[in-house]
Amino acid sequence: MTTYLLPDLLRHNAWANRRVLESFSAAPHVAGVICYNGEPLLAHVQHQLGTERAFLNVIRGEPKRPVPPAALTELLAYDSETASGLESAVTAIGESGEDRPYLVPWWKLEFPLHVLVLQVVAHSAQHRAELAWELARAGVSTGELDYIAWVADGRPHAGEGQRPAGESQ
């Protein structure tokens, strides 16, 4: 079975994002912790999710920089909307459209769709790692976030099929 990889990567990204965001419920005070760059952790969440939405806007042909909500509960819904939009847009474009160029105004360059999707995934992975680190320092585990563990669990949707923290294949 061949899977169109870009939507699959976006589904994993959504699942991993959700897992990290939901981990804050175990220690909500962590969202206000000041990180290595002097900003609260919540600002990293906003930046990560705002960047995902910005790339979705580019793909939709509406390249505007979004302003994500400030509350963690609202960010969960914002993340779900963005993830659904990205997966739907990329699936609709299809594998034959992976090389279609899109203008990214903040770079003033055109990039093909597959580069935009890989940027979303890589950028989000970087910020999830930072968030997971800060959560771990507060005694909260995000559990397994690996792509292969997600595949082994049957490619669950965001918020589903989450292997208990500390358990791996």
The CA distance from 103 to 63, in Å, is 8
Each residue of 77-88: pLDDT tens digit? 999 999 999 999
Instruction: State the Cα–Cα distance between residues 132 and 151, nearest whole angstrom.
Output: 20
| Domain-wise residue ranges, the chain | 5-95+108-152
Q: What does the mean pLDDT of the chain come to?
A: 90
pLDDT of residue 166: 40
pLDDT at position 35: 79
Q: Say which DSSP state 4 is in.
A: -
CATH architecture under which domain 5-95+108-152 falls? Up-down Bundle (1.20)
Q: Which two tokens stand for residue 113?
A: 């769709």
- Looking at residue 24, its pLDDT comes to 86
Q: How far apart are CA 147 and CA 13, in angstroms?
A: 9
- Looking at residue 41, its pLDDT comes to 87
Dump strand ranges (E) for the chain. Answer: 101-104, 109-112
Average pLDDT over residues 21-44: 86
Average pLDDT over residues 15-27: 91
Distance in angstroms (rounded) separating the CA atoms of residues 11 and 32: 28
At 167 the three-state DSSP class reads: coil
pLDDT at site 167: 44
pTM, two decimal places: 0.90
Of 140, 120, 134, which is closest to residue 44 (Cα–Cα)? 134
State residue 3's pLDDT score: 63
